[in-house]
């Protein structure tokens, strides 16, 4: 769930950032994809870290 939340939050954040900087639709899509991937990866690593801490 953390991965999906990170993906959604990153996409939303990226699109808003591109719009704030004056970007058009494709700029917003590119920022949303980039930030979505980055935040999704961070969420995946956080999920793995939490899982390993709980199992140990």
> Taking 90 as the threshold, does the pLDDT of residue 50 lie above it?
yes
> What are 27-39's pLDDT values in tens digits?
999 999 999 999 9
DSSP 8-state symbol, 22: T
Cβ-based neighbours of 1, under 8 Å, separated by 6 or more = none
> Taking 80 as the threshold, does the pLDDT of residue 16 lie above it?
yes
Distance set, CA 1 to CA 18, 19, 25, 48, 53 (Å): 26, 27, 28, 12, 17
> Taking 80 as the threshold, does the pLDDT of residue 41 lie above it?
yes
> Taking 80 as the threshold, does the pLDDT of residue 46 lie above it?
yes
- Annotated domain spans of the chain: 2-55
pLDDT band for position 56 (cuts 50, 70, 90): confident
> Taking 90 as the threshold, does the pLDDT of residue 18 lie above it?
yes
The structure tokens 């917003």 sit at: 28
């Amino acid at each position: 769930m953390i991965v999906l939340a990170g993906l959604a939050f990153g996409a939303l954040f990226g699109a808003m950032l591109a719009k704030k900087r004056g970007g058009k639709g494709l700029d917003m899509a590119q920022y949303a994809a980039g930030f979505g991937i980055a935040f999704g990866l961070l969420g995946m690593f956080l999920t793995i870290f939490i899982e390993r801490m709980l199992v140990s």
